[in-house]
Structure 1
Amino acid sequence: MKRFIVTVLILTILPASAFASRGIEVVSKLESASGRTVGSYRALVIGINEYQDSAIPDLKTAVNDATELSQVLQSTFGFTNVAVLTDGQANESSIIRELRSLVVQSKEDDSVLIYYAGHGELDTLTGSGYWVPHNAKGGDPSTYMNNAVIQQYIKAIPARHVLLVADSCFSGSLFGEARSLPPINNKFYATLYKERSRWGMTSGNLTPVEDAGSGGHSIFAYHFLKELKESDKPYLTPRDIYQRIGPVVRNNSEQMPITQPIKNAGDEGGEFVFIRMASLVPQTSSIPASPVLAPAPAPTPSPAPVPTRQESELDRILREADEKKQQAERDRRKSAERNAEIETYYAKLEDVDKMKESSLPSESKVKVWSEFINQYSTDNPKLEEAQKKLEFWEKMARLPVDERPQIKPPEGMVHIVGSEYTAGADADQGYAKCKKYFARCERSWYTDETPHQETVRSFNIDSYEVTQEQYERVMGKNPSHFKGSNRPVEEVTWHEAKAYCEKIGKRLPTEWEWEFAARAGSTTAYYWGDEYDGAYAWTGNNSDNTTHPVGQKKPNRFGLYDMAGNVWEWTSSNYEGGGKVVLRGGSWITLPDSMRSADRYRLVPSIRTNNFGFRCSQ
């Protein structure tokens, strides 16, 4: 019987304290040569033989493969914190929970192992690959786990090394370009260990693989485990293993194994290094005994020092410095209170801006904005924006009353008055937010958010993300993974989102329209302020690993709901003119650093996953 199995490994190395009790020579050599600390080994091991849905055929060897691997990792390579999920334990929510645990608990010097053995599927319509958890429904990809989601977790894990081993069909879609080996010499393993890696090994690329094999294991798992157990090398890399077992698997099956980096997951040229426990036993005979030394003579106590004139002068300088520091702190608090007062006043004026001409004419809006500018004419972070608002309403006030716009948007939409605004944010903003949630962050990840001026024309935009009920009524189907008529539709490609909007006389918003609408006049990291607030968004912190009905969180100042969280939203804009499309807003699975109004995400338009949705504009 052919089995469709995905086997994923994410690997970690023992902490120094664990090595200390068993001998540290090999670890010390690797640390010394690479200039890196050897961190912890962690593992998530998953094996599924029996499926809840009888339409999915059971497997024979997946649980045995996973169980023996978990034992080998602990007994031979000293893995700690090994989580094992088999059969009914390996449902989608449990797998996601353990993946999130790896993201939160792993440290920068770690390597992590995730092993998944179970069915895998390929969507012939989109080319997407999937894991099939225990509680999946046969023939329904919306109940599977998309490889794109797995990729996001692999990228988010802060460990230095992440190794993906896939004993499966249809697993090749995760992999990027192969790279050449460095020369194998005494610096070989140190060179590979030094740099971060996101590496993969698969038994079958985009083809089916054998379930039955040797010794109760699949043919790939049998030889993979054999090499781990029987190799006498102190260090092993995935390519060491592959070079020995690849030809054997090819010669004894129809499978074509490969090993190379995982694409779009943060690989930087390194490779995972297994460190064998047997090689960690110290050679005590090679360590010379320390000579016995005569005790040193007791030091003669010095007399207590007498303060000098210079020391008294130093005390005075230190007192004055302390007083200046306290005064600076008082000034800082006063400035912060004033800025908070300005922010509150400005927010109220933005609410005034939204009032219809019939309720508050343009002349009155000119007056209130003028008063704000006069009252806070200096040291006002909102002064430039307020002056632009004043110029706009002065222009409107010069129009005859009957020519002033009285905009009434279609039902379910909000009218957005166009304007120029500052889009994006300094890279330090995203970098600072990232460091709150992840052990490893790079400022360069956020340089595509460079602040710049954008001008958008007036437009309408949906108050809510498109729901499953709305989508099914127009398109005749509901592809969503998390079912619920008032939940946002997901598992839709960019092409499908675009087609839906066009069928009802609308379109997808541009990236800069979306950001302008999300900010609602704000200049802070989030549209509600600079700190994360779960009252405004469903995120990885509060979603319980699922989407939620639209409109349950607080709206922004324009009356738009879920502009942060719940599902990422497709826009109509290409990313930097390339073949990828920009998504905005974060989702139920992402952490708050991706909820920022300036955050940009991009993927190919053909991808579908359960945290991508959209809203329309016109």
Structure 2
Amino acid sequence: MSRFIPAIFFLLIGAGAWFVPVASAEEPADGNYWALIIGINKYPNLEKDKQVEAARGDAEAVAKMIVDRYGFAKKRMIELYDISANRKAILHAFSQLKKDVARQDSLFIYYAGNGVYESTQDKDRATETGFWLPTDAEQDDPSSYIFNSQVKDFLSTMPARHVYLVVDAAFSTSLIGRTISAKAGSREPFQEKSRVVLSSGWLKPMPDKDKTKKGHSAFAWHFLKILEQNTNPILPARDIAEPLGVRVTNEPQGKLPKSGPVIASGDEGGQFTFRLAKDAFDPEAEARLKEMQRQNEAAQKELRDLEEQLKEAEEKLKKGK
């Protein structure tokens, strides 16, 4: 009998090793999906070199993509373009989302526009401060900008389970941490909180010079292509950064995007996911998902059976003493 228990124990480990819960994309994810989309080309108070060509078109294309292909509801989206994307409106949008978004919800934020970095050096280290420039930003007046640290504070107090921030502009690298794993023992990383940023690293969207990308920046073009070409019912944010980096760095204006959790914002190693709208499913991908679900159900049943056998073996062992 003493040999029987270890045998079952190792079977339990084997069964659990390949058991990974799969969420059904046919059913709504826990909570709702929200979005804040900001695209700014026009800066009336700034010099000519601060005007942007691609930002608004990029942001509008991203908004259309997440509605048409990923089922975002317009009623849960805030879109701010050019003159409507002033400092007051952006900060008000942050505040409104904090009121409307629930703990089980997911929030996607896309910002395309001007950004600024300021670096200061003290005795011990250099400090980098990043800003977004709303449409009403004043020349050389940081009080009219939006600090990246303000964005971080917003993310840290946002009740949403997941927040995915995609920025085609400046974002302080000092606010981007190292990727961490979900909590030990968690079977479902998508249930843990996430606060992740993906940044192009440019100060503003850089339109393509050869005009093959329909006026989009290389960063936005490849981000859109990844969303468009995806056929898996579930697309985690972690599966976007690496292929995007490869594609963008191969461009003439290539620059490696930066990605990671936003520090001190409550990230717990979870994963934001885009979920294909039902009418956008690839039949083969849907079939693969169903097969994975069938295998999961079989694995769970096997696990329950083995647990019962282990209990019976323990009872017999106790009686035999």
Normalising by structure 2, report the TM-score: 0.71
Q: Which residue does the alignment assign to 1:246?
A: 245
**Number of residue pairs the alignment of both structures matches:** 246
Given the superposition, is the C-alpha separation of residues 170 and 147 from structure 1 closer, same or farther in structure 2, using an over 3 Å criterion? closer
Q: Which residue number corresponds to residue 99 of structure 1?
A: 94
Deviation at 1:170, TM superposition (A): 4.5
Structure 1 SS opposite 2:103 = coil
Does residue 199 of structure 2 align to residue 202 of structure 1? Answer: yes
TM-score by length of 1: 0.38
Q: Shift of the alpha carbon at 1:192?
A: 2.6
In the TM superposition, residue 199 of structure 1 has moved relative to its aligned partner by 0.9
Find the counterpart in structure 2 of residue 434 from structure 1. none
Instruction: Compute the displacement of 1:210 (Å).
Output: 5.2
Q: Which aligned pairs between 1:399-410 and structure 2 lie closer than 5 A? A: none
Aligned to 1:113: 108
Q: CA deviation at 1:84?
A: 0.8
| Superposition pairs of residues 552-591 of structure 1, within 5 angstroms | none
Selected match of 2:40 from 42, 48, 69 = 48
Matched, 1:276 2:276: yes
Residue 237 of structure 1 corresponds to: 236
Q: Give the distance between the partners of 2:33 and 2:83, measured in 1 at CA.
A: 26
* Residues 159 and 175 of structure 1, relative CA distance in 2, 3 Å threshold: same
Deviations 1:346-400 (A, max 9, x none): xxxxxxxxxxxxxxxxxxxxxxxxxxxxxxxxxxxxxxxxxxxxxxxxxxxxxxx
Q: 1:210 to 1:254 in 2, by over 3 A?
A: farther
C-alpha separation in 2, matches of 1:58 and 1:153: 27
Query: 8 Å contact 1:131–1:145 — kept in the other structure?
Result: yes
Say which SS state the counterpart of residue 212 (structure 1) adopts. coil
Could you tell me how far apart the structure 1 residues matched to 2:158 and 2:197 are? 15
| Displacement after TM superposition at 1:180 (Å) | 5.8
Matched to 1:279, the amino acid is F
Give the superposition deviation at 1:64: 0.3
Please tell me whether the aligned partners of residues 208 and 255 of structure 1 are also in contact (alpha carbons under 8 angstroms): no
CA contact (8 A) 1:129 1:173 kept: no
Segments of 4+ in structure 1 off by > 6 A? Answer: 280-283
Q: Separation in 2 of the partners of 1:201 and 1:88?
A: 25
More helix by share: 2
**Partner Cα distance (2:103, 2:148) in 1:** 24
Q: Which residue of 2 aligns with 1:82?
A: 77
Secondary structure at the counterpart of residue 151 of structure 2: helix
Which of 31, 52, 55 is the matching residue for 1:62?
A: 55
Residue in structure 2 matched with residue 444 of structure 1 by the alignment: none
Residue in 2 that maps onto 1:255: 255
- One-letter code aligned to 2:151: I
Identity %: 35
The secondary structure found in structure 2 opposite 1:179 is: coil
Matches within 5 A, 1:504-519: none
Name which structure has the greater RCO, CA cutoff 8 Å, separation 6+.
Answer: 2
Aligned to 2:178: 177
Cα distance, 1:218 vs. partner?
A: 0.5
Deviations 1:471-514 (Å, cap 9, x if unpaired)? xxxxxxxxxxxxxxxxxxxxxxxxxxxxxxxxxxxxxxxxxxxx
Pair 1:177–1:105, CA change in 2 (3 A) = same
CA distance in 1, matches of 2:161, 2:245: 26
What stretches of structure 1 of length at least 5 have no aligned partner? 1-23, 32-36, 183-187, 287-618
2:295 matched residue in structure 1: none
Comparing both structures, which one devotes a greater share of its residues to strand? 2
| CA distances 1:562-612 after superposition (whole Å, capped 9, x unpaired) | xxxxxxxxxxxxxxxxxxxxxxxxxxxxxxxxxxxxxxxxxxxxxxxxxxx
